[in-house]
Structure 1
Amino acid sequence: MPEAFFAGMQGISDSAASFSASVSAGVGVNESGGQALIKAIDKMHNGIVKALSRSDYLSQEPPLGTTPAAQVYKPFLASIATDPSQGFIAAAKKFQKDLEQMRLDVEKAMATYQTADQDAAHGIKKAGGPILSA
């Protein structure tokens, strides 16, 4: 399960980087599509913020008992959360920043779309308006 979860976060982060590059190249997103993306981003962001607010709990050794196996696993399980390069907390903080950047990129793409739409409408009016036929 942890591998799949981390892979999912990494996949979304990779997609966010690709989207950011597309936005830099001038890709636009319409209002309804942008709002749907923002809603999804905000939902994921809220989940990560909630998980990170419990990071002190996540970094504690679980109460597994005093058996020799438990003594081995307790610090290992806590390190899954706290490892500075591969732990959940580090991955979640990176994911949180990626989501924040993606939200900004969606807003920028929505503005790009709106500008392009207004420019197109202005071009049509300047050319004499749309040609209507029966």
Structure 2
Amino acid sequence: MPEAFFAGMQGIRDSAASFSASVAAGVGVNESGGQALIKAIDKMYEGVTNALSKSDYLSQEPPLGTTPAAQVYKPFLASVATDPAQGFITAATKFKQDLEQMRSDVEKAMAAYQTADQDAKQGISKAAGPTLSA
């Protein structure tokens, strides 16, 4: 489970980086598509923020008892959350930052789309020339 979860977060982080590069290259997103992306990003952001608010709890050794196996698992399970290189807290914090960047990129892409749309409308109006009525 943890490997799949972290792989999923990494996949989203990779997609966010690709999207950021696309936005820098001028890709636009229309209003309805942008709002749908923002809604999804906000939902993920809320979930990550909620999980990180419980980081003190996540970093504690679980009460598994005193058996030899429990003594081995307790520190391991706590380290899954707190490992500075690949622990959940570190990964979730980076993911939260990526979501903030992705939301900003969506807003930029929506603005780029709006600008391109306005430019296209002006181009059509200029190409049509003045309208005369009888």
TM-score normalised by the chain length of structure 2: 0.95
CA RMSD of aligned residues (A): 0.7
CA distance in 2, matches of 1:84, 1:4: 19
Q: CA deviation at 1:12?
A: 0.3
TM-superposition CA deviations, 1:45-100 (whole Å, max 9, x none)? 00000000000000000000011111111011000000001000000000000000
Q: In structure 2, give the amino acid aligned to 1:59.
A: S
Aligned residues: 129
Task: Name stretches of at least 5 consecutive residues in structure 2 with no aligned partner.
Answer: 130-134
Alignment partner, residue 132 of structure 2: none
Alignment partner, residue 93 of structure 1: 93
Q: CA deviation at 1:126?
A: 1.0
Q: CA deviation at 1:22?
A: 0.2
CA distance in 2, matches of 1:47, 1:89: 13
TM-superposition CA deviations, 1:111-134 (whole Å, max 9, x none)? 0000000000001111126xxxxx
Alignment partner, residue 38 of structure 1: 38
CA distance in 2, matches of 1:68, 1:37: 48
Alignment partner, residue 10 of structure 1: 10
Q: In structure 2, give the amino acid aligned to 1:48.
A: V
Alignment partner, residue 66 of structure 1: 66
Alignment partner, residue 78 of structure 2: 78
Identity %: 84
Alignment partner, residue 54 of structure 2: 54
TM-superposition CA deviations, 1:13-38 (whole Å, max 9, x none)? 00000000000000000000000000
List, as ranges, runs of 4+ consecutive aligned residues in structure 1 with deviation greater than 2 Å: none
Task: Name stretches of at least 5 consecutive residues in structure 1 with no aligned partner.
Answer: 130-134
CA distance in 1, matches of 2:43, 2:8: 15
